[in-house]
Structure 1
Amino acid sequence: MSRFEFVADHVGAFGVKRLCRVLGLSRSGFYRWMKAAPARAARAAADAALAEEIKQIHAEFDGTYGSPRVTAELRDKGREVNHKRVARVMRRFGIVGVHLRKKVRTTVPEPSHQKVPDLLRRDFTAPAPNLRYVGDITYLPVGEGRFLYLATVLDLASRRLAGWSIADHMRTELVTDALRAAAATRGSLDGAIFHSDHGAQYTSAEFAKVCAELGVRQSMGAVGTSLLTG
């Protein structure tokens, strides 16, 4: 409920002036809101009618259609409607389609033949900076079902971000770029431990090669465990 609605509901008991003063509203603003009430009611009625049309389309296609396809169906039926309005009405009335995201085939790196040990043993601390790092890939939604991917390299001593890389793909270069960025920031990673999960990017021969080039000792937890539990 808005503050204007509260005033309208209680004006008979307390009066407009008193309620507006207590709620920090202007009386002129309240009266403008009241004057616009018929237009709001008309919009609400129109949205409710549109919601019924959307529900029919939704049911017709087994509840799979989201707002873009619902909008297209409405237009095919001769309804002039904006897709943003359709999305708003669907949110308001709880009409949700099945979000079928296009499956992105990323390059599957060649696995490294080197068996990577767990050098941290669930001890995610470090006595000093530039000795122990952890890395991961994070998904960043950017709208319309699309993502960017962020690879990070975190120093376990300072808990500071030493290196990162962002891209619209998850190829191995995403994580190698992040590791090289950390090496550039710290001057050298020679002798440092880098711990990760068993993601294809981290188990690739290319990533192992970059680690060797930078003097980094690879570490991985047991398969099936999360990054921060080893």
Structure 2
Amino acid sequence: MNIMAGFATIIIITSLITFTGTGCGGGSGNGGKQAKGDQSQQEDHQHEGHDHQAKGTGKEHDHGDHDEAGMAKSEQGNTSVPSFQNVNEATKQVMGKVKENYFALKDAFVATDAKKASQEAKNLLASFDNEALGSLEGKQQSFYKKKYQEIEQALTTIEKSSDIKKQRKAFESVSDNMYKLLKAFGTEDGKVYRQYCPMAFDNEGAYWLSDAQKIRNPYFGDKMLKCSKVRETF
């Protein structure tokens, strides 16, 4: 009887040890698998959310992370722009023609049409009436010459290239210098909207000008047509 009781005790103790080991190991393993599964699901959900935002258009895409950089870039650009008084009417008329031809160039990039962009760049360059602007003096003359030279160089690049990416990069320079010219000298009529895309050129960000508040992105075209914000109206 004592031997039987001893065997029974050993069996009970062994069973308890086995049960306890299985409970901790199994429970821990199942808990680990469940935790890993939950983490995996969470990561998948976050990744899907990121993909959804990346594929979205302007209203769907969140530009919050880029806003501060865009504002800083905008403020930096504004500090170097004078506002000339007593600008003669001939200069304002030339700026009006230049502005309209610039918008035509912008529309060519919205359409992702390299050939049309080349032609519109040629038209824009021709619209600068340097004879009419020859009456400028002093700071007005020196400011105009500097900006015109930079615009001329960028427009020549666009005109001679058939690479839309290269053309768009040159268009950024045209846009920045056109902004400064129009702010400095003004035009006869019409509002100009300065718009900004934080994702242009691998998230470096870039500006352009538009005659409409409605967003039409020249740096991405239909890939991200509405990706932008209006930064300034003048």
Q: Which has the higher strand share?
A: 1
Give TM-score scaled by structure 1 length.
0.25
Larger Rg: 2
For CA contacts below 8 A with separation 6 or more, give which structure has more relative contact order: 2
